Structure 1
């Protein structure tokens, strides 16, 4: 016997517009009567990575509103009172998010709060009272007024300077994410930042060490034995600090003659399988219990950054190198050795090859600089 298909109470519809965008609206069935709810949400033509990210965010918001409407209609059907959105304070809710985070991610959220307090000192502001105009004001503050001093008192001994373009993009994205979290938690029904223009991420000039510089660095004693091993392990594998710091012996496997790292990448939460070469395997050291950390004894990342910078300087290398630059060095070394972009993206655990392409641009600049040094022959 065929099962009768139940009609949905709410449909998410997309309607093309003359300007090339597409508007989103809900098609509701209320007691047999169809109604439309226009959401003032729009999809844009996907010409860039930012366009695709914006559309994903817009669709996620539309689906969230759809889910809320279904619940509301079901509650009306069964005579249940529809709960009213709570009068949640911005900074109290922000603290809830910060408490969920750790490491460098938590630091970014703390920095965002510092900038928000500079822009909006009213700690009794309710999230529901935030308007697109208020969000635009915070964007303008980041773009024209935000200073490095605003978030780090340790910088008081240097000249004040505006925050970098990448920091602007990150701080604004944190605020947008806050609104998305609020929608999922039932605190908001609409994201007031949705139609405010995002900052474009700059193409950063990623510092890296050449093979010759890495060999030079290896001749200088590292700040600590474990930090030296971890740094060169990153140079040879491309692993991030966050994944190296938490790496356990249970994630190190022997597959025939090959040593393989099977781990959950902390940044993307994806399971990765990474075969490493013999020299990288030697840097792992003596094996212990599966629960033991491979690089036990590493300090906090902030201390490691300072230590690596001083170490590189002691080696006579005139570059601003942090621990993360080891990952950049791996990528450039692989491309210079002839590894294709697709393979490199898999080795580095990138979800999209677009994240890997920046290294190809850096290598091109490196080759151009080398060609420019060719002497005149006549």
Structure 2
């Protein structure tokens, strides 16, 4: 589009009115003639056709300068995509490079970088490295949604869980919404495609009696047993337990506390622990050594965890993360208030912890019918 400053005669050709012409191109009609597309804006600025006095000359100069500033303003607005004028240069931007930049911004602000980086890797698989914003339409968006639901795999070569699909698609949605804010996309194709609905699956957990039985049952890998029970007592995630070093442990002068950075949120946490939790950590070693040395994520360890549970008579589908659920439920059942539990678990929002409160409410209802029939 071109923005052209023009003038037309008025008042018996003694004055001229300034206006802008917005030339938006042309198309060739079936008869071979060209149809031009133009819009106009009157500036309400007057020029003297033949200025005779210094005042008229100055007025002409001032009005021309103002008109030119207005013209330049419209040019800049066009370049930023304002008013619905499409700037095709921006549509040539590389989409993957743009998404990578958004991902790096999350790393610097420590805000959900891991998920953004995972989405970036899936986008690299889904589309060409030369994909431009001009290539992103409704079909592209629906295609990525279908890819997440039916094609994308985890590192273990299994399909993505529905909540993971939902999270990844929402990151993709956020990137296109940001591109619209940046005036790269004027018509955002994401608005025509529904999000992937997140589900709230049942959270498996252990009762106090089951944890007690596990603690008295031998496990093939002692470090796995100690770490799992430790998680039941503290609510710590696998990622934070696995990387924990002795530098994060405060256990002198009557203080039993962990000071660490959550791997998931990057927040610094201060967590008081019990003596029995500290006993599971073993003897203190060098500050840079890991507390649960030898603990690693593997199919072998996951299978060993299930066999350990089965040996105890527990046939629930237990994963290491269930220990965190167990801690939350046990704390609420034993009287801890939900705000304290939320803080101990490192939740940023209380609604995340409220899921466990619903589990406890369910247990209360079950308890109402636990007494056998009196046959009155």
Q: Does 1:329 align with 2:322?
A: no
User: How far apart are residue 104 of structure 1 and its match?
Assistant: 8.0
Paired residues of 1:112 and 1:174 also in contact (CA < 8 A): no
CA distance in 2, matches of 1:94, 1:208: 38
Q: Does 1:135 align with 2:137?
A: no
Query: Which is further off, 293-302 or 324-333?
Result: 293-302
CA distance in 2, matches of 1:196, 1:351: 29
User: How far apart are residue 203 of structure 1 and its match?
Assistant: 2.0
Q: Secondary structure at the match of 1:172?
A: helix
**Map of 2:269 onto structure 1:** 272
**Map of 2:361 onto structure 1:** 364
Segments of structure 1 that go 5 or more residues without pairing to the other structure are: 1-29, 37-67, 73-82, 157-161
2:198 to 188, 196, 201: 201
User: How far apart are residue 251 of structure 1 and its match?
Assistant: 0.9
Write the deviation string for residues 180-202 of structure 1: whole angstroms up to 9, x where unpaired: 78799x89567653674433422
**Map of 2:351 onto structure 1:** 354
Segments of structure 2 that go 5 or more residues without pairing to the other structure are: 1-67, 81-88
Paired residues of 2:122 and 2:152 also in contact (CA < 8 A): no
Q: Structure 1 91/312 Cα, relative in aligned 2: closer, same or farther at 3 Å?
A: farther
**Map of 1:47 onto structure 2:** none
CA distance in 1, matches of 2:372, 2:116: 51
Paired residues of 2:233 and 2:277 also in contact (CA < 8 A): yes
**Map of 1:244 onto structure 2:** 241
CA distance in 1, matches of 2:262, 2:313: 34
User: How far apart are residue 152 of structure 1 and its match?
Assistant: 6.2
Larger Rg: 2
2:283 to 270, 286, 301: 286
**Map of 2:19 onto structure 1:** none
Query: Which is further off, 326-335 or 364-373?
Result: 364-373
**Map of 1:173 onto structure 2:** 170
Paired residues of 1:222 and 1:311 also in contact (CA < 8 A): yes
Query: Which is further off, 316-325 or 294-303?
Result: 294-303
Query: Which is further off, 284-293 or 193-202?
Result: 193-202
CA distance in 2, matches of 1:312, 1:103: 34
Q: What do you get for the CA RMSD once the two structures are aligned?
A: 4.4
Equivalent runs, 1:1-378 vs 2, <5 Å:
31=69, 87-88=93-94, 90=96, 109=119, 112-113=122-123, 117=126, 124-132=130-138, 134-136=140-142, 138-139=144-145, 141=146, 146-147=149-150, 151=153, 164-176=161-173, 179=176, 192-193=189-190, 196-254=193-251, 256-300=253-297, 303-378=300-375
Write the deviation string for residues 198-240 of structure 1: whole angstroms up to 9, x where unpaired: 3342222000011111111122222312111111111100000
CA distance in 2, matches of 1:245, 1:133: 42
TM-score by length of 2: 0.64
Paired residues of 1:165 and 1:202 also in contact (CA < 8 A): yes
Query: Which is further off, 186-195 or 281-290?
Result: 186-195
Q: Structure 1 294/319 Cα, relative in aligned 2: closer, same or farther at 3 Å?
A: same
Write the deviation string for residues 122-168 of structure 1: whole angstroms up to 9, x where unpaired: 665334421355324544x379xx34x75269779xxxxx9654243
Paired residues of 2:281 and 2:291 also in contact (CA < 8 A): yes
CA distance in 2, matches of 1:316, 1:345: 31
